[in-house]
Amino acid sequence: MGTDKVALPLGGTPLVERVWQRVAALVDTVVAVGGRPDVEHLGMAVVPDRYPGADSMGGIATALAYAAERFGDTWVLALACDLPFLEPRLIQHLARLSEGYDVVVPRVSAGYEPLCALYRTTCLPVFEECIRNGQLAIRSIFSRVRTREVPETELRRFDPALHSFINLNRPADLECAHRLLGVKRAP
């Protein structure tokens, strides 16, 4: 994208705030890993990345460590800051599937959606081992823990167009998101 996506405006609202608005009522605590202090007004804790250079794998591991220290054995909903169209009903469905698993991850035709998934804090040792071994693809943990893959057909019952998985990586993605919102991008 060429800029920090956290504060990137979509329809006049920063991306991270859009994500927060979609999930704040569904979770007890919201944490921005590696985030900036300017999101604290939303009630988010800002936690420095404990695993710099470990990409998203390190971000999820940081969130798991934070949650484990504060709450013990619990679940973490890992979300990218650039998923502005999350469907709360889909997130609730993922949570209902968690019993008996360590990970609940959507899988669409393009592959896994690990940055819109649930991870139990008990997964932290597996994340840390992968990071130590340089295995930074999040999907590398799925075969090592009890993973519930949620297929696209099931996901579409809660988000028919799968808008929850639209992320904004390029300026063209941002333009598409503005069109979906029905607003023109500010100059």
The 10 Å Cβ neighbour count of residue 106 is: 24
Predicted local confidence at residue 35, as pLDDT: 67
| pLDDT tens track for 105-144 | 999 999 999 999 999 999 999 999 999 999 999 999 999 9
Q: Flag whether pLDDT at 6 surpasses 90.
A: no
Segments making up each domain of the chain, as ranges: 9-178
Q: Long-range pairs for 62-67 at CB < 8 Å and ≥24 separation?
A: 62/33, 62/34, 63/31, 63/33, 63/119, 64/119, 64/121, 64/123, 64/124, 64/127, 65/124, 66/31, 66/33, 67/29, 67/31, 67/121
pLDDT band at residue 2 using 50, 70 and 90 as cut-offs: low
Residue among 177, 175, 178 nearest 164 (CA): 177
- E strands in 43-186: 45-47, 75-79, 103-108, 111-112, 116-120, 147-151
What does 22-54 look like in DSSP terms, one character per residue?
HHGGG-S--EEET--GGGGGGT-EEE--SSTTS
The more confident residue out of 38 and 95 is: 95
| pLDDT tens track for 14-52 | 888 888 888 888 888 888 888 666 777 777 888 999 999
Q: What predicted TM-score, i.e. pTM, was given to this entire model?
A: 0.91
pLDDT band at residue 59 using 50, 70 and 90 as cut-offs: very high
**Average pLDDT across the chain, whole number:** 89
Let me know: does 92 contact 86? Beta carbons within 8 Å. no
9-178 carries CATH number 3.90.550.10:
yes
Any idea what the Cα angle at residue 90 is, between residues 50 and 34, rounded to 5°?
Answer: 15
Predicted local confidence at residue 185, as pLDDT: 53
Predicted local confidence at residue 187, as pLDDT: 44
| pLDDT tens track for 60-93 | 999 999 999 999 999 999 999 889 999 999 999 9
